[in-house]
Structure 1
Amino acid sequence: MDLNKLFNISDEVILLLGFTGPIGRQFATVFAESGCTLVLGDNSENGRDLAESIKKMNRNTEYIRLDVTDETDVRDAVSYVAEKYGLISVLVNNFSARPEGFYKKFEDSELGCWNEVLNVNLSAMYLSSREVSKVMMRQGYGSIINVSSVHGVIAPDQRVYGGSGLNSPAVYASSKSGVIGLTRYLAAYLGKYNIRVNSICPGGVNPGNVDKGFVDEYSTRIPLNRMADMEDMKGPVVFLASQASRFVTGQSIIVDGGQSIW
């Protein structure tokens, strides 16, 4: 297989759930640029407008508003895409919750917030993966890509947050670690159906509006001496969606500039 075919995803039907955040926008953009058939699912108020801007890059783009935690919503959305396009080649699960109280210190955190975050960050990935895997089993192939975090691999260094009032809470690390566990389970379970399941674990990402002092402090903990920018997320997701990764499954692709090796 030549190089162009290895990374060519123009014939794929890609379902991207969660695309209105900084990383999701980059996923949507690179998929649109590839020429694939792209279905964007989200529950954000600006989802439709953003989808329209993506559609200007690729007319084969469609938007579905859905709640990823609602079983009926997810089942109906997956059935709609499969029936309309005949297949779902790639599922990208890229969603997370930051409800009120998310950034409270551990000793002040509340069970309601914990449960809400787990419901979105982990349970919803189980739900969408379950429904899409049924389609992929029938068609005999597929790629599921779950977005985790470097904090699913290593514990966050709380010192970097200083007195900002922000932190990386226990529920975030726990849910993202759970995503990696779910990914490995599904890779083992679905492998016989030629379905690959992998996760992407981004490190700290600077979308361009992060306080410079924080960026400088965070960067001292990264061998490449910088936070990730948006462009850094495009390559890994295309790799996992394409035939270039056809023998890669159950893996966590850590995109952190080397942060996790220190």
Structure 2
Amino acid sequence: MGREFATSLAAAGAKVAVYSRRPITQSALDELFPDMADNVRVYEANVTNKAAIEAATDRLIADWGVPDVLVNNAGIDSKPDGAADQNGPFETYPQKYWDDIIDVNLTGVMLCSQVIGTKMAEKGRGSIINIGSIYGLVSPNQALYSYREERDGVPFFKAVSYAASKSGLLNLTRYVATYWAEKNVRCNLISFGGVKTGSFDKEFIDNFLDRVPMRRQAEKGEYNGVIQFLASDASTYMTGSNVVVDGGFTAW
């Protein structure tokens, strides 16, 4: 989704800086963003490392100035094919997995907002867009995953950490929105539903779509409009909001 957002914003005329844990060569950048590479730059930074974020932001400001928009998109989740304890019951869920997911999904958003948002506030303008999930609004329905035990003979549980991290974004968004409101720095959250990626089991997709009124997953490009809206002057009086884009999943 990060590539999708970057492509969409660059196509709309924005200069896009991508913070990446790994360096990306110019040839790889040209391949990822054909005909747009001049408007896309990559800065190496891990979102859980404040010093790295500060260094990348200093380089970015020297190149292009203070950003107008920050999209906090970095996120991880338990892997469906990961270790058994990663997808085991809550009673024995290891703290190491909790720490990893909270560090990226929640602490990383706080650190990027702190570093880049401070620069925005000093300039008196900016829009911070946090990427959330329906699992920040409702608890994962474990029935969606029951087929795993029937198929594999091993119980499978959607872990607590992802939902907790995305739920935490709700009030982090409100906090930042109210804290910097008088500095003209807006902060909003988008709670996404399922995205068609081709990486999910058919049984999961069938179970999931039974609970989606529109009976389908989102195409990758269907979130670009709300990203562009929150990044643009069309939303200048909007802050502290949670925009739910989920095909109706949370309406039932």
Question: TM-score, normalized by length of structure 1?
Answer: 0.85
Letter in 1 for 2:99: N
Q: Which structure has the bigger radius of gyration?
A: 2
Aligned to 1:37: 15
| Whole-angstrom distance in 1 between the partners of 2:157 and 2:192 | 16
CA contact (8 A) 2:72 2:129 kept: yes
Distance 1:233 1:48, change over 3 A: farther
Aligned to 2:127: 143
1:156-196 Cα deviation digits (max 9, x unpaired): 11101123376432111111000111001000001100011
Instruction: State whether structure 2 residue 213 is matched by structure 1 residue 223.
Output: yes
Aligned-partner SS, 1:148:
strand
Instruction: State whether structure 2 residue 212 is matched by structure 1 residue 254.
Output: no
Letter in 2 for 1:36: A
TM-superposed CA distance for 1:109, in Å, is 0.9
Letter in 1 for 2:214: L
Give 1:110's match in structure 2, choosing from 94, 102, 107.
94
Instruction: State whether structure 2 residue 61 is matched by structure 1 residue 74.
Output: no
Instruction: State whether structure 2 residue 71 is matched by structure 1 residue 92.
Output: yes
Q: Which moved more, 1:92-101 or 1:129-138?
A: 92-101
Aligned to 2:107: 123
Aligned to 1:208: 198
Q: Which moved more, 1:176-185 or 1:25-34?
A: 25-34
TM-superposed CA distance for 1:44, in Å, is 4.7
Distance 1:47 1:151, change over 3 A: farther
1:130-174 Cα deviation digits (max 9, x unpaired): 011121112110000111111101111110112337643211111
TM-superposed CA distance for 1:45, in Å, is 7.3
Question: TM-score, normalized by length of structure 2?
Answer: 0.88
TM-superposed CA distance for 1:83, in Å, is 2.3
Give 2:29's match in structure 1, choosing from 17, 41, 51.
51
| Whole-angstrom distance in 2 between the partners of 1:238 and 1:151 | 23
Aligned to 1:28: 6
CA contact (8 A) 1:154 1:260 kept: yes
Fraction of identical pairs, as percent:
33
**Alignment length (residue pairs):** 240
| Whole-angstrom distance in 2 between the partners of 1:105 and 1:161 | 13
CA contact (8 A) 2:173 2:240 kept: yes
Distance 1:52 1:198, change over 3 A: same
| Whole-angstrom distance in 2 between the partners of 1:174 and 1:48 | 37
| Whole-angstrom distance in 1 between the partners of 2:43 and 2:91 | 39
CA contact (8 A) 2:23 2:42 kept: no
Aligned to 2:152: none
**Structure 2 segments unaligned to the other structure (5+ residues):** 149-154
Cα RMSD (Å): 2.0
TM-superposed CA distance for 1:47, in Å, is 8.3
TM-superposed CA distance for 1:66, in Å, is 1.3
**Structure 1 segments unaligned to the other structure (5+ residues):** 1-22
| Whole-angstrom distance in 2 between the partners of 1:79 and 1:193 | 21
TM-superposed CA distance for 1:199, in Å, is 0.9
Letter in 2 for 1:75: E
Give 1:60's match in structure 2, choosing from 39, 43, 53.
39
Aligned-partner SS, 2:244:
strand
| Whole-angstrom distance in 1 between the partners of 2:24 and 2:135 | 28
Aligned to 2:223: 233
| Whole-angstrom distance in 1 between the partners of 2:217 and 2:193 | 8
Distance 1:102 1:83, change over 3 A: farther
